[in-house]
Chains A and B, each alone.
Chain A
Amino acid sequence: MSVTLSRAEPSIAEVGDYVALMKPRVMSLVVFTAFVGLVIAPGHLHPVIGLTALLCIAVGAGAAGALNMWYDADIDARMARTAARPIPAGRVAPGEALAFGLTLAGFSVVVLGLLVNLIAAALLAFTIAFYVLVYTMWLKRTTPQNIVIGGAAGALPPIIGWAATTGSVAIEPVVLFLIIFFWTPPHFWALSLYRAEDYARAGVPMLPVVAGEAETRRQILLYTLLLAPLGVAPWLLGYAGPLYGIVAVTTGAAIIALALRVRAERRGYAASKQMFAFSILYLFLLFAMLLVDRLSGGLFGHFAV
């Protein structure tokens, strides 16, 4: 009874708590990769429509984040990294987060469909549904392959951006999808190596918890060996210039070298922490170079009214 009464108490949630529910750091990466997909796509897109598409993708990503935090509040409460999130900290009620997430999801998809195009809206709806239903509700608690398959949701934004401009899907954004898809496991497994106790306490079957450190380090190397050539693919396929190629080859070699160090690491997690930090820089550099490549070809020509 007391629980019921406390749940009925008026909310103390601040605006900042709702912003935190949207996982702004994840959102910024989603918006950035979607922006790159949108800019490198052939054809013309009015800047207002382009900004509308990015706004909808950002809000859609925020909706997925809020719904994830709603469902995973029990896990978040048991992990040091996430215990201060709005729901486990008691600042936002689970029902508030659920309503917030569903409202944002609905608005983002409908507005994207009405103001941009239906393919982009359908892809955004699929991305949110995949992240919430497949990753959060199903895979995360049941298999160490959770972030491998679930990573597809985080890899889709460049395709949505491309679809916003062209109204279709092509091989170029699919390569960008594959880059993020194969980037996700080494990125998160590097983190999970030195957070394994946290994940074990929360009952999340991350690879180091289920298969051990040695196997995780081996898998990080295998996925990185697949990732580095994929990073070079946009240059090899001819839709990125030599500057991109140079950056992709050098950073690709650097991330393989780091993965080898992670594989060889026997004590401590220095290499794993470096791998985690560098993987963020690696992905950012690849997409930033694609952007530079396109901008040097004339942004204003692309955004013709």
Chain B
Amino acid sequence: MTAMSEAMKKPETGIKLTKRQLRARRARSIAIAVSLGVLVVLFYIVTLVKGPGVLVRPL
């Protein structure tokens, strides 16, 4: 219990992101989320368009 509380008091030793790095990471995360969202919507719409034959892919 004592060891745990001591460990909790220790300052963080990992990499601290600068404001610029944080801002860039947030923007990249949003862009990835939007891209994945577009992909999901695309598959949904194409499924509606193709109907039951969605997996029929002519060569």
Contact = CB atoms under 8 A, between A and B. Distances in A.
B49 A49 contact: yes
Interface in B9-42: 15, 17, 20-21, 24-25, 27-28, 30-31, 39, 42
A188 interface: no
Given A10-B17, A119-B59, A167-B59, A111 B39 contact: yes
Contacts of A10: 15, 17, 21, 25
A134 interface: no
Interface residues of A, number: 23
Contacts of A114: 57
Interface in A118-148: 118-119
A118 B25 contact: no
Contacts of B58: 117, 167
Where chain A touches its partner, the secondary structure class is helix
Given A52-B46, A114-B57, 19 more contacts: A10-B15, A10-B17, A11-B28, A12-B21, A14-B24, A15-B31, A18-B31, A49-B46, A49-B49, A55-B42, A107-B39, A113-B57, A115-B42, A115-B43, A116-B57, A117-B57, A118-B59, A119-B59, A167-B58
Interface of A: 9-15, 18, 46, 48-49, 52, 55, 107, 111, 113-119, 167
30 contacts: A9-B15, A10-B15, A10-B21, A10-B25, A11-B21, A11-B24, A11-B28, A12-B20, A12-B21, A13-B24, A13-B28, A14-B27, A15-B27, A15-B28, A15-B30, A15-B31, A48-B45, A48-B46, A49-B49, A52-B42, A111-B39, A115-B42, A115-B43, A115-B46, A116-B57, A117-B58, A117-B59, A118-B57, A118-B59, A167-B58
